[in-house]
A and B are shown apart, each in its own frame.
Chain A
Amino acid sequence: MERWGVGKIAIFLHGLAGAAVLTALYMALVFAPREAAMGDVQRIFYWHVATAWVGFFAFFITLIASIAYLRTGRRRWDIVALSSVEIGLAFAVIMTVTGSLWAKPVWNTWWTWEPRLTTVAIMLLIYATYLLLRRVIEDPGRRARFAAVYGIAGFVSVPITFMAIRWWRTIHPVIFKSEGFDLSPAMLVALIVSVAAYSLLYVSLLLLRTQLEFLSDEAAELRESLDE
């Protein structure tokens, strides 16, 4: 009963996120000024940073949900952790692909083994393995516990990835420094709108995905009761 309420909120949020993403598109493609050195290619930056932020944030939510699951043993935390990995991985892949598209004209290569790209590759591998791990464990309780432990251990890769361009010498640009931003005011506005839009999309996707998992639990229960 309660779930229908959540479903409606999720659908409403989804519509809102759709409108926000369209606005972000406008901001990135039209509103933001043309970058002097790189030209229009630089506009991919608004997706790249926004999806990167969502990806990192999603893995952080998985960390929190994993800790909460180990503490309470409640299935809902396991569902949140799983859903957030799936969404985070999708966003992290978008981040990697957009970064690669930008790198081809600017760095003259799709990929190079510099610190940021290397640590990102490791992070993607870890969360892909997280999903694989869930598939090879039959017992639901054990699956949830092992996944939670891996969700906690794997998260270490996220701050390392974030800090990689600050700790090591790298060709990856650093936009947010302790001294401030390397952006013009209009660019900053476009970036903030993009980040907000994709964050909203993340929240609505998370609601829908968790809802789906609750429903599939319910369907499994019903099927079991039919078998009896």
Chain B
Amino acid sequence: MSSAWQAVWAVVKKDILAELRTKETLSMMLIFVLLAVFIFNFAFDLRVENVREVAPGVMWVAFVFAGVLGLNRSFIQEADKGCLDGLLMTPVDRSLIYLGKMLGNLIFMLAVDAIALPVFSVLLNLALVRWDIALIVVLGTLGFAGVGTLFSAMTANTRAREVMLPLLLFPVALPLVLAAVKATAGVLDGASLGEVANWLNLLIGYDVVFLTISYLTFDYVVES
């Protein structure tokens, strides 16, 4: 058991170390997430009277689009530099490599979300830095990173790969985004977590189902 976690941790550490050297992916995601909010701000500026009504949608669309940017780089970088072959040659279970890559993506996305949320709070003039919203963000991002990592490994090997990932991922992730938006909106409207429990249950169920599917099928995706 401990050696399994060592393998997972080694992959996570590799990704974090590589990212810290260049800081490319993180800064790209951050700038994109802010850009998305600016664009939404201009798009909705004249029409919306109550920011609270659109804030959850704006927030999640920004997170999801920025997440796709990070996911796209996750495996394309590995494939282009021949690192993926090296990873696959290591004598560890490939499901563990999946867990490592998934955790790495999750950490990057949560880092971006954590920086973006206070900025959103200022720009939208809404208190978004709250523990209940943080919980919803973690649950939503977990499922998104879970299935996103699987599809990212797939699309790195296809034609038009940068385009294929959002095409594959968005329809599958839509129920997750929907539940996350609804839960965030409910909480912003003053509901307690218990009152949005049905959406939280959908989030948790989605996380469990897609992490399991991804964990079980990753082996077939990287097999050559």
Contact = CB atoms under 8 A, between A and B. Distances in A.
A149 B209 CA distance: 14
B contact residues, range: 20 to 34
B34 interface: no
A150 interface: yes
Contact of A152 (B159, B171, B175, B213): B213
A196 B178 CA distance: 36
Interface string B153-184: 01001111000100110011011001000000
Given A133-B164, A142-B157, A156-B209, A149 B171 contact: no
Interface in A190-220: none
Interface in A139-185: 142, 145-146, 148-150, 152-154, 156-157, 160, 167
Do most interface residues of chain B lie in helix, strand or loop, or is the interface mixed?
helix
Nearest to B154: A146
B217 A136 contact: no
Interface of A: 70, 118-119, 122, 125-126, 129, 132-133, 136-138, 142, 145-146, 148-150, 152-154, 156-157, 160, 167
The 3 closest A-B pairs by CB, nearest first: A125-B171, A136-B159, A126-B171
Given A146-B221, A153-B151, A153-B210, 11 more contacts: A126-B171, A126-B172, A133-B164, A138-B159, A146-B158, A148-B220, A149-B154, A156-B209, A157-B171, A160-B175, A167-B198
6 contacts: A70-B220, A122-B174, A136-B164, A156-B210, A156-B213, A160-B175
